[in-house]
């Protein structure tokens, strides 16, 4: 029997995951406990999804998964294999034109520090995809996103303007 303790640098198991991120297939080899947020920021170099709380309560890491606004910090990477993932970097069209929600946030200066902005924009995109007859109040829908700067009035103004414009 050896008197040596196991090495702190013992090899760890990793898994291959294939993700569809912003319309492109990405193959990554990551530890199985890595979240989607870990993969997006560490392996893919994306800066839009941000870690705020790490427990799904602030919305800074919000991404669209098959069109639904979800917290990337709560999803293990392998759980979203084969699903369509969109980050703020993938929201503009192929020509680089901003999405109408991005434009509305700019028009209404719906940000200060902008740390929360990608999450609010993606959540708003998901909200506006809901049929108008089935939508809950925008303020309630966006309540899972926190803005430490207090830009809520301008964020809601942008959302209300988008609701008035229609599809």
> Which domain covers residue 139, as residue numbers?
15-165
Residue 74 resides in a domain:
yes
Residue 4 resides in a domain:
no
Q: Give every CB contact of residue 148 below 8 A, 6+ residues apart in sequence.
A: 113, 115, 116
Range list of H helices, 48-151: 100-107, 117-129, 138-141
Which among 16, 40, 158, 14 has a CA at the least distance from the CA of 100? 158
Structure confidence by residue, pLDDT tens digits, 53-92: 999 999 999 999 999 999 999 999 999 999 999 999 999 9
Q: Which residue has the higher pLDDT, 133 or 80?
A: 80
Q: Is the CB of residue 79 less than 8 Å from the CB of residue 97?
A: no
Residue 155 resides in a domain:
yes
Residue 117 resides in a domain:
yes
pLDDT tier at 7 (50, 70, 90 boundaries)? very low
Query: What's the structural domain count of the chain?
Result: 1
Residue 10 resides in a domain:
no
Residue 9 resides in a domain:
no
Residue 2 resides in a domain:
no
Residue 60 resides in a domain:
yes
Structure confidence by residue, pLDDT tens digits, 40-52: 999 999 999 999 9
Q: What is the pTM of this model?
A: 0.90
Query: Which residues pair with residue 27 across a beta bridge?
Result: 18
**What CATH number does the domain containing 55 carry?**
3.10.20.30
């Amino acid at each position: 029997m050896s008197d040596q303790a196991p090495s702190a640098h013992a090899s760890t198991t990793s898994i291959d995951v294939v993700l569809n991120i912003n319309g492109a297939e990405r193959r990554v080899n990551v530890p199985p406990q890595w979240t989607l947020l870990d993969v997006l920021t560490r392996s893919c170099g994306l800066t839009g999804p941000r870690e705020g709380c790490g427990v799904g309560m602030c919305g800074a890491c919000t991404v669209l998964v098959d069109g639904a606004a979800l917290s990337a910090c709560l999803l293990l990477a392998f759980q979203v294999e084969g699903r369509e993932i969109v980050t703020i970097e993938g929201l503009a069209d192929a020509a680089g034109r901003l999405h109408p929600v991005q434009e509305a946030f700019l028009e209404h200066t719906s940000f200060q520090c902008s740390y929360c902005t990608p999450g609010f924009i993606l959540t708003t995109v998901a909200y506006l995809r809901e049929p108008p007859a089935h939508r809950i109040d925008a303020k309630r829908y966006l309540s899972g996103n926190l803005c430490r700067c207090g830009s809520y009035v301008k964020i809601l103004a942008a959302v209300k303007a988008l609701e008035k414009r229609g599809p």
